[in-house]
Structures are given as structure tokens and as C-alpha cells.
């Protein structure tokens, strides 16, 4: 996320550990100070927030305060879905929502993305539009021109 090592080396020796500074930037909502700008310009803000939040939780000193691997995977899936929503765009997402078996009620792109992440049936109930297939549906619908 930062595109750097977690410590600084100078003159062949360890000069400092950057993790405390990273934690402070997260707590003060100053991620722009530490995020690699080459990566940041390609990230959807919601995806960045989800990813940075789970990364921050992993830095807790006490093991019991850190998330389980299952929770980490779940949050990373959410970040991926948010990122897929950025690539697809609101109009593309609306086209997929139109083929949902049950009508979807939403106003904003964020609301629609949350519905996608919960899962839905599309293609006459043959496909679950949940986590794993959302990006695949987005990709195939975009390629097909639907």
C-alpha cells in the first residue's frame, strides 16, 4: 500500500521503523501522506479505506485484538468488490442490476455496490451475483457490451 519497506536503512544500518508513523497517519486520516501515489490514483476510495482499515487492525500489538485470517480474507474480498465497482462504473452496474431475478432498490452507486456484495441471482436464477462472481459478471457483461 505504501510501496516502501517497513523500516529505513542508511549507511548500512537500521535508522527507524515506519510502522508507528503509518499507524498515526491512519488514526489522523492522513493516508495521503503515506500511500504510494502511483497506486492511489488507481484505487477506488472505498476500496482504499477498507484495505487500509484491515491493514491497521493487523498492526495491533496484542494478538487477540488483531483480526482472524477469515476476517482479513472477508475484508479483502470487500475491497476487491469495491475496486471492481470502480472499473465497471455505475451504468454498467445498473445494467447488471436490471437482470437481477428480484428487483433491486437503490439510489446511489454505493447502495448498489452493497447489494452486489450481499449477492443476488441473475440470468434467470442461474448465477449468484455475490462476492466471487461479481467481478466475473462485470467483466463478461462489459466484454459482451450488455
Q: Tens digits of per-residue pLDDT, 15-63?
A: 888 889 989 998 999 988 888 877 777 788 888 888 899 999 999 999 9
Residue 3 lies in a domain: no
Residue 139 lies in a domain: yes
Q: How many CB atoms lie within 10 A of CB 68?
A: 8
d(CA 108, CA 90): 9
Q: Give residue 31's pLDDT.
A: 87
- Tell me: pLDDT of 119 over 50: yes
CB 1 within 8 A of CB 31: no
**For the chain, what is the domain count?**
1
Residue 61 lies in a domain: yes
Q: Give residue 68's pLDDT.
A: 95
Residue 66 lies in a domain: yes
CB 93 within 8 A of CB 143: no
Q: How many CB atoms lie within 10 A of CB 59?
A: 14
Residue 14 lies in a domain: no
* 1-5, 61-65, 101-105: least confidently modelled range: 101-105
Structural domain that includes position 120: 43-144
Q: Is 49 helix (H, G, I), strand (E, B) or coil?
A: helix
Q: Give residue 5's pLDDT.
A: 80
Q: Give residue 140's pLDDT.
A: 46
Amino acid at each position: 500500500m505504501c510501496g516502501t519497506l517497513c523500516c529505513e536503512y542508511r549507511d548500512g544500518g537500521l535508522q527507524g521503523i515506519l510502522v508507528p508513523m503509518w499507524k498515526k497517519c491512519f488514526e489522523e486520516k492522513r493516508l495521503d501522506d503515506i500511500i504510494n501515489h502511483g497506486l492511489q490514483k488507481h484505487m477506488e476510495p472505498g476500496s482504499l479505506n477498507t484495505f487500509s482499515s484491515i491493514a491497521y487492525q493487523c498492526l495491533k500489538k496484542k494478538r487477540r485484538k488483531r483480526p482472524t485470517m477469515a476476517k482479513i480474507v472477508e475484508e479483502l474480498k470487500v475491497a476487491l468488490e469495491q475496486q471492481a465497482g470502480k472499473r465497471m462504473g455505475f451504468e454498467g452496474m445498473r445494467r447488471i442490476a436490471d437482470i437481477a431475478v428480484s428487483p433491486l432498490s437503490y439510489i446511489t452507486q454505493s447502495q448498489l455496490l452493497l447489494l452486489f456484495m450481499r449477492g443476488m441471482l441473475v440470468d434467470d436464477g442461474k448465477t449468484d451475483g455475490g462476492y466471487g462472481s461479481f467481478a466475473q459478471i462485470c467483466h463478461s457483461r462489459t466484454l459482451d457490451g450488455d
